[in-house]
Amino acid sequence: MRTEKTACILCSRNCGLLVDIEDGKFTKIRGDKDHPLSQGYICQKAARLDYYQNNEDRIEHPLKKQADGSFARVSWDEALDDIARRLLSIRKQYGGEAFATAGGGGQGNHLGGAYLGQMRAAMKSYYNYNSLGQEKTGDFWVNGRLFGSQECHTAEDIEHSDFIIFLGCNPYQSHGIPNARDTLKEIRKDPRRTMVVIDPRRTETAKAADIHLQLKPGTDVYLLSAMLAIIVRENLHDEAFLKAHCTGFDAVKTMLMNVPIKEYIAAADVPMEDALKVARGFAQAESACVRADLGIQHSNHSTLNSYFEKLFFLITGQFGKKGGNNLHDSLIPILSHTDERNPKFKRTVYHNMFAVSGILPPNILPDEILKAGERRIRAMIVDSCNPALTWPDATAHKQAFESLELLVVIDVAMTETARLADYVLPAASQFEKWEFTGFNMEFPKNGFQVRHPLFPAKGETLIEAEIYTRLLEKMGELPKSFPVLSRIAKYEPDFSSHAGFIAALAATFAANKKLIRYGASILYRTLGPTLENNAAAITLLLPLSISLAQKYPDAVRRAGHDGNKLTQGVNLFNAILKARSGLIFSEHRYDDVWRLVKNPQRKITLAIPELLDAMDKLSIDDLTSEQYPFILSAGERRSYNANQIYRDPKWRKIDPNGFMRMHPADAERLDLAKGDRVKCQSETGTIEAVIEIDDSVRTGYLMMPHGYGSDYQNGKVNGPVINLITGLDHCDPIHRTPLHKTIPVNIEKLSA
């Protein structure tokens, strides 16, 4: 038995873990007190991680689809030679438009994504489909307009905040904030702090709140704009802050002065006095912040919701300060800036859709494969993602994937998407390789942890870095070796700066600019092998550490990483490699936030014409109809769902069916009791559900979890395949974010 440090890979918090390992299995899992962010905290899901590491769906050999639909084992060379040949032929015949990637990282791994990006570069493709494009790109788009770059991302300083609004999120279950359950308890205990929850369900979080605004689903846009209007009309906005730091407030003010407050509060169906209390309390608090998530992003007017969420802390001046909302730096830049107004960034063929932060929305993918004619997508690589189950309209996605000329899936398990592939390439698991996540989103202190391998890689599995590098070599994009660089890497006398290697790398790039795009693989093949313990794949952290230290030397120094211009970043890199529990890599002062704003003069542009225009046209919509009298939230986070990371249904201690919550009054009307089966039908499809009577939901509102519906061992499907009923067109107009929380459905009782 040995004890090791690692991190949980089940949600974006990535809590530090201390694990006991025996005979290739996790035998005990607990929180790591030395982890600088989670400090020993974990939730119930982490204890079950052996179901991820060891399960019957793990794939251990490259597999090729046969004519009869079955899979046969092939060698890596056979698979990669054929994939390389077919990709080259598609590129030659149809160009980069014919190739797209999906995924590139999950809740615990983002390293593969860096190497996957090189495949798009090699194929001359800009089609990057990613799960972030079905939840967060509307938010990123708003950030781009407000702060000048889609790389700007807002954080919330809950720890130091007096007045916190949890807007459409349920951190008790979904986490997303530091040590969620402890944090909620602390806020609740402290009489000087106020917690507000805006959620149509009386969630576990709402039960701990001072004020719960149990609004009608899909009505945040009315509630938020009405509360903003209250703030402005009562002169509670922060004139001094707005004058010093923002432009365009006049246009926003005009829009807010037109909001019919009473009517909108009534549309949200919350008591006026509570709305007044929240608006006034937030504006007048010493410090206040908003934490928002899918409840507003996956519901009607998604992008407008995100805009109002941010106007809340901007017009009240609760930004750029202790306990407020802030921007943050990032060591791993998972976001980029691809402003659609810049013609340099191409659009898709069928939907003429633009990327946000380099990411395209899954809601358009089936059409770009099936309906774009000669210019359609013909080949795809899917990595760390299970879109046949997790992306909207599973039927359309399945049909689209089946029509591709080449589908390659790189995964640790035989997923629903993998079954549709021509080649399934087995990756080493997240506990069998060096890995990290890009979820470094804290301010003022930001942290990061690299995980080292705990188990030998199973069977013939390879790490993603090796798979993609081999593929690029076989495509002839990348030379098989870089003798000069490798020699310098190996024999460089001064390891404290890697100065000789970096100079040689710069010379290599200067001589052949095309190689810059393959920087990750070149580092992996040259400097990589000099790192201890096969850490080659994470060598790309070296340039990232150097670049961070160059941008924020003082913040990096405050976090304890010293050095001069040449050595500080390298010192940070070396510290990261050694810090098994992770480390703090930067510690900012609150007013550093203004350096993170990318607009000229560091001003925030409050007026977003497209959204002001949408606001002008806003009316109160009724989402239900005679045919579809209920609204379903298709994708709640619960104790025993964790996206599709666990496949073996035995990991769940409760709720094997992923029940449907229904208010007692609705159940009575439909003559339903706990445990009854119903047919749930939307415009897109039909699924079955098992009823749970629950008065925490509003009448007329039903809730089902996501993260179910995998058919483990190609056997019985476990729980609802929720995306059979979500539609491609049921989405936000700006970046087609699906509106999973507000799906009109009909319910019919099934006979026993």
Ligand X SMILES: Nc1nc2c(c(=O)[nH]1)N[C@H]1C(S)=C(S)[C@@H](COP(=O)(O)OP(=O)(O)OC[C@H]3O[C@@H](n4cnc5c(=O)[nH]c(N)nc54)[C@H](O)[C@@H]3O)O[C@H]1N2
**Nearer to ligand SF4 by C-beta: 46 or 146?**
46
> Please, what is the minimum distance in Å from the beta carbon of residue 521 to ligand X?
17
CB-facing half-sphere around the CA of 315: CA atoms within 13 A: 30
Neighbours of 626 (CB within 10 A): 6
Distance, CA of 292 to CA of 314 (rounded, Å): 15
Q: State yes or no: residue 462 binds ligand SF4 (CB under 6 A).
A: no
Q: Distances from the Cα of 538 to the Cαs of 99, 218, 574, in angstroms? A: 27, 42, 11
Instruction: State how beta strands 25-31 and 16-22 pair.
Output: antiparallel
Considering only residues 7, 21, 294, 360, which one is a binding residue for ligand X as defined by CB under 6 A?
A: 294
SS3 321: coil
Query: CB within 8 A of 533, min separation 6: which ones?
Result: 452, 453
User: Closest CB to ligand X among 357 and 429?
Assistant: 429
Restricted to residues 690-709, the positions that interact with ligand X (CB under 6 A) are 706-707
- Strand 660-662 and strand 686-693: the pairing is parallel
Binding of residue 15 to ligand SF4 (CB under 6 A): yes
- How far apart (Å, rounded) are the C-alpha atoms in residues 637 and 45? 12
Structure tokens at 356: 């946000």
Is 413 a binding residue for ligand X by CB under 6 A? The answer is yes
Alpha-carbon torsion (323, 324, 325, 327), positive or negative:
negative
Among ligand X, ligand SF4, none, the one that 412 touches (CB under a kind-dependent 5 to 8 A) is ligand X
Specify whether the CB–CB gap between 167 and 310 falls below 8 A. no
Distance (Å, whole) CA 711 – CA 713: 6
- Binding pattern to ligand SF4, positions 321-340, x when CB under 6 A? --------------------
- Element housing 409 (H / E): strand 406-411
CA distance 380 to 405: 9
| Residues ≥6 apart with Cβ < 8 Å to 95 | 124
The piece of 10-18, 277-285, 354-362, 531-539 that touches ligand SF4 (CB under 6 A) is: 10-18
Type of residue numbered 217: P
46 binds, among ligand X, ligand SF4, none (CB under 5 to 8 A by kind): ligand SF4
Q: Is the dihedral of CA 500, 501, 503, 507 positive or negative?
A: positive
Residue 633 interacts, among ligand X, ligand SF4, none and using kind-specific CB cut-offs from 5 to 8 Å, with ligand X
Footprint on residues 34-63 left by ligand SF4 (CB under 6 A): 42-43, 45-46
Count the alpha carbons within 13 Å of 714 in the hemisphere toward its beta carbon: 9
CA-wise closest residue to 165 among 21, 85, 282: 282
Could you tell which of ligand SF4, ligand X, none binds residue 170, using a CB distance below 5 to 8 A set by kind?
ligand X
**Partner whose footprint covers residue 325, from ligand X, ligand SF4, none (CB < 5 to 8 Å by kind):** none
As a whole number of angstroms, the distance between CA 688 and CA 669 comes to: 19
Q: Does 176 bind ligand X (CB under 6 A)?
A: yes
In the DSSP assignment, the letter for residue 330 is -
- Tell me the backbone φ, ψ of residue 443, rounded to 5 degrees: -150, 140
Assess 175 for contact with ligand SF4 (CB under 6 A).
yes
User: What residues from 372 to 391 belong to the interface with ligand SF4 (CB under 6 A)?
Assistant: none
DSSP assignment of 439-480, as one string?
Answer: ----SSEEEE-PBPP-SPPPTT-B-HHHHHHHHHHHTTSS-S
Q: Using CA atoms, how far apart are residues 312 and 229, in angstroms rounded to an integer?
A: 10
Residue 152 interaction partner, one of ligand SF4, ligand X, none, beta carbon < 5-8 Å per kind: none
CA nearest neighbour of 82 among 428, 421, 522, 493: 421
* Stretch 119-148 residues interacting with ligand SF4 (CB under 6 A): none
Size of the site for ligand X (CB under 6 A): 62
Q: Which residues pair with 677 in a beta bridge?
A: 690
Work out whether 14 is an interface residue with ligand SF4 (CB under 6 A).
Answer: yes
Residue 502 binds what, of ligand SF4, ligand X, none (CB under 5 to 8 Å, by partner type)? none
Select from ligand X, ligand SF4, none the partner in contact with residue 295, using the beta carbon and a kind-dependent cut-off of 5 to 8 Å.
ligand X
Site string for ligand X, 636-655 (x = CB under 6 A): xxx--xxxxx----------
- Measured CA to CA, the distance from residue 16 to residue 353 in angstroms comes to 39
Give me the least distance between CB of 707 and ligand X, in Å please: 5
Shortest separation between residue 14's beta carbon and ligand SF4, angstroms: 5
User: Which partner from the list ligand SF4, ligand X, none does 383 bind, CB cut-off 5 to 8 Å by kind?
Assistant: ligand X
Give the shortest CB-105-to-ligand X separation in angstroms.
8
Given a contact cutoff of 8 angstroms between Cβ atoms, the answer to whether 212 and 199 are in contact is yes
> If contact means CB under 5 to 8 A according to the sort of partner, which of ligand X, ligand SF4, none does residue 421 touch?
none
357 forms part of the interface with ligand X (CB under 6 A): no
Q: Out of ligand X, ligand SF4, none, which partner does residue 634 contact, by CB within 5 to 8 A per kind?
A: ligand X
Report the C-alpha gap between 28 and 576 in whole angstroms: 26
Rounded-to-10 torsion of CA 242, 246, 248, 249? -20
Nearer to ligand SF4 among residue 179 and residue 526 (C-beta): 179
Query: Contact between 8 and ligand SF4 (CB under 6 A)?
Result: yes
Comparing CB distances to ligand X, the nearer of 486 and 723 is: 723
Which one of the spans 5-13, 124-132, 299-307, 591-599 is the region binding ligand SF4 (CB under 6 A)?
A: 5-13
Task: Return the one option of ligand X, ligand SF4, none that residue 461 interacts with (CB less than 5 to 8 A, by type).
Answer: none
42 with 206: CB under 8 angstroms?
A: no
Is residue 581 involved in binding ligand SF4 (CB under 6 A)?
A: no
Q: CB count, 10 Å around CB of 1?
A: 8
Report 187-226 residues binding ligand X (CB under 6 A).
198-201, 203, 217-218, 220
Among 332, 412, 520, 596, interactor with ligand X by CB under 6 A: 412
Radius of gyration of the chain, Cα coordinates, nearest whole angstrom: 25
292 forms bridges with which residues in the sheet?
167
199 binds, among ligand SF4, ligand X, none (CB under 5 to 8 A by kind): ligand X
**C-beta of 364: minimal distance to ligand X in Å?**
16
Q: How far is the CB of 436 from ligand X (least distance, A)?
A: 12
Q: Is 645 in the site for ligand SF4 (CB under 6 A)?
A: no
Which one of ligand SF4, ligand X, none interacts with residue 390, CB within 5 to 8 A by kind?
ligand X
Q: Are strands 154-156 and 583-587 parallel, antiparallel or unpaired?
A: unpaired
Binder of ligand SF4 out of 11, 450, 645, 731 (CB under 6 A): 11
Nearest approach, Cβ of residue 695 and ligand X (Å): 14
User: Which of 597, 97, 83 lies closest to 326 in space, CA to CA?
Assistant: 597
Q: How far is CA 689 from CA 19, 667, 720, in A?
A: 37, 13, 7
Residue 639 Cβ vs ligand X, minimum distance, rounded to whole Å: 7
Smallest gap from Cβ 645 to ligand SF4, in A, equals: 9
What length does the chain have?
Answer: 752
218's contact among ligand X, ligand SF4, none, with CB below 5 to 8 A by partner kind, is: ligand X
Interface positions, 719-748, toward ligand X (CB under 6 A): 722-723, 726, 740-741
> With contact defined as beta carbons under 8 Å apart, do 624 and 655 qualify?
no
Binding site residues, ligand SF4, CB under 6 A: 8, 10-11, 13-15, 42-43, 45-46, 175
Binding site residues, ligand X, CB under 6 A: 11, 106-107, 109, 112, 131, 134-135, 167-170, 173-176, 198-201, 203, 217-218, 220, 293-296, 299, 383-387, 390, 410-413, 415, 427, 429-430, 464, 633-638, 641-645, 706-707, 722-723, 726, 740-741
